[in-house]
Amino acid sequence: MKRHLISAADLSRDDALLILDTAEELAQVADRPIRKLPTLRGRTVVNLFYEDSTRTRISFEAAAKRLSADVINFSAKGSSVAKGESLKDTALTLEAMGSDAVVIRHPASGAPHRLAGWVRGSVVNAGDGTHEHPTQALLDAFTMRRRLGRIDGLRVTIVGDVLHSRVARSNVLLLHTLGAEVTLVAPPTLLPVAVSAWPCEVSYDLSGTLPKSDVVMMLRVQAERMSAAYFPTVREYSRRYGLDAERMALLPDHAIVMHPGPMNRGVEIAAEVADSPRSTIVEQVANGVSVRMAVLYLLLSGAGPALDEIGTGSPAATEAEIAEVAR
C-alpha cells in the first residue's frame, strides 16, 4: 500500500481487499466488552478539519482511539484561505509536533495532495472539495459486501449530484477496481462533461435503471445547486431523481439502498425509504469506524495482516495488554 490514502485510485485490488478484510476483523472488536486495542499506542493522529463534518471527524476519532492512538483535533475552519495561517504553515506546525498521520477534511480539491508534500507522516483524505472521499467509498464497499456477500459483478447505481460529489468519484474508482458495474444517474447538468471517459455507465432515467440494480446509492442534493440553475426546482428534481417508496418497489428484492448522509428527507430520499429494511444508512455509520481503523492500522503499522497481531493474542496485543490500556 502507498504511504498516503488520498484517492481511491491509490488502491490496487489487493490493497482494497486487504483493507476490507482487516476492517472485518476489527469489526469484531466492537463486539468485545473492551473495545480497545493497543496497536497504535504512542502514535499520534491529527484530525485536521477545515470544514464542519462532525460525523466524519467523530468516526476517525473513534477509530484512532480504539487503536490507542493519541488524537489531536485541529479545527481550522475559516483559517484556510484568505486569512490566518496557510495550509503549509499548519503542516509544518503539525510536523513539529510529531504527528504520525494527518486526517484532513478540506473544501479545496487537492489539499491532501499538497499536504502530503509538506509532512513526513501519512495523509488520509477525509474529503477534499469536489474531488474524493476514499474512506467513504471503502465503508460503502464494506457495507455492500456484508449485505450482499460480494462486490465483484454487483450492479451499483449512484444517483444525484455526481459533478460536485467526492463520494461519487471515490465510489466509481473503487467499485471499478473491485469489479462492480457502476451506473450513474443524474440530470445532465450534474454530470461532468467528460463523464463518458469514466469506467461506468450513465443514464438519465432512474426508474429504468432500478430494476437492474443490486445497490442504489442516493447522493445528497445541495439546495444552492438550484439557485445556480442546475435544475428548475427541488420538486422537479425530487420527481425525476428522488427515491420514494413507489420507485423503490422497482428494485429487485435483494437490493439495498445506501446514502452517505446527511440526508435531505423528502428531496433525494423519502422517509419511508430511508427507514425501510433495505436501507443501510445506519450500518454505514457503524462500518465507517471499522474501515477507518483498518486504514489507520495499515498505514501506520505496516502492511502485515492484522489478525496475527490483534485478533488472536499475538505478543503485540495480548489480552493483558488490552486490559492494561483499558485501565
Partner 1 sequence: MTGAGQNGASQNRASQTWLIRGIRRAGGPPADLILSGGRIADAGPGLSAPPGAQVLDAAGLIALPGLVDLHTHLREPGREDAETVETGTRAAALGGYTAVHAMANTDPVADTAGVVEQIWRLGREAGVCDVRPVGAVTVGLGGAQLAELGAMADSAARVRVFSDDGRCVSDAALMRRALEYVKAFDGVVAQHAQEPRLTDGAQMNEGEVSGLLGLSGWPAVAEEAIIARDCLLAAHVGSALHVCHVSTAGSVEILRWAKAKGWRVTAEVTPHHLLLTDELAASYDPVFKVNPPLRTRADVEALRAALADGTIDCVATDHAPHPAEDKETEWQAAAFGMTGLETSLRVVHAAMVETGLLDWAGVADRMSVRPAAIGQLNGSAAASGSDGPGGTAPLHGCPLEPGAPANLVLYDPAARSIVDPAQQASRSRNTPFAGLDLPGQVVATFLRGTPTVLDGKLTR
Pairing mode, strands 155-159 and 215-218: parallel
Q: Give the contacts of 23 (CB within 8 A, at least 6 positions apart).
A: 138, 142, 287, 290, 291, 293, 294
Task: Please tell me whether residue 87 binds partner 1 under the rule CB under 8 A.
Answer: yes
Residue closer to partner 1 by CB (options 198, 231) is: 198
Please tell me the distance from the alpha carbon of residue 64 to that of residue 172, in angstroms, as a whole number.
Answer: 27
Cβ proximity to partner 1: between 66 and 106 the closer is 106
Number of residues binding to partner 1, judged by CB under 8 A: 26
Q: Interface with partner 1 includes 166 (CB under 8 A)? A: yes
Smallest separation (angstroms) from partner 1 to the CB of 228: 8
By CB under 8 A, name the one of 36, 41, 113, 212 that touches partner 1. 113
Q: Minimum Å distance from CB 78 to partner 1?
A: 13
Kindly state whether residue 240 participates in binding partner 1, applying the rule CB under 8 A: no
| Cα–Cα distance measured from residue 156 to residue 213, given in angstroms and rounded to the nearest whole number | 6
With binding defined as CB under 8 A, does residue 81 bind partner 1? yes
* Rounded Cα distance, 244 and 274, in Å: 9
Q: Out of 51, 61, 128, 140, point to the residue binding partner 1 (CB under 8 A).
A: 128
Interface pattern 175-194 for partner 1 (x via CB under 8 A): -----------------xxx
Q: How far is the CB of 192 from partner 1 (least distance, A)?
A: 3
d(CA 83, CA 91): 16
Q: Which DSSP string do the residues of 74-141 spell out, in sequence order? A: EE-TT-SSSSS--HHHHHHHHHHTT-SEEEEEESSTTHHHHHHTT-SSEEEEEEETTTB-HHHHHHHH
Q: In the bound complex, what is the minimum distance in angstroms from residue 83's beta carbon to partner 1?
A: 11
The H-assigned helical ranges of 189-305 are 206-209, 224-227, 234-241, 245-248, 271-274, 281-300
Taking the least distance from each CB to partner 1, the nearer of 192 and 313 is 192
Q: Is 201 helix (H, G, I), strand (E, B) or coil?
A: strand
CB contact at 8 A, 40 and 64:
yes
Residue 48 and residue 108 in contact, taking contact as beta carbons nearer than 8 Å: no
80 touches partner 1 (CB under 8 A): yes
73, 75, 79, 130: which one binds partner 1 (CB under 8 A): 130
Determine if 2 is a binding residue for partner 1 (CB under 8 A): no
Shortest Å distance, C-beta 80 to partner 1: 7
Instruction: Answer for the pair 121, 146: CB distance below 8 angstroms, yes or no.
Output: no
Active site residues: 55-56, 83, 105, 133
Between 230 and 297, name the residue whose CB sits nearer to partner 1. 230
The answer to whether 92 contacts partner 1 (rule: CB under 8 A) is no
Question: Does the footprint of partner 1 cover residue 223 (CB under 8 A)?
Answer: no
Residues 254-273 that bind partner 1 (CB under 8 A): none
User: Which among 291, 295, 305 has a CA at the least distance from the CA of 141?
Assistant: 291
* Chain contacts with partner 1 (rule: CB under 8 A): 80-81, 86-88, 106-111, 113-114, 128-132, 166, 169, 192-195, 197-198
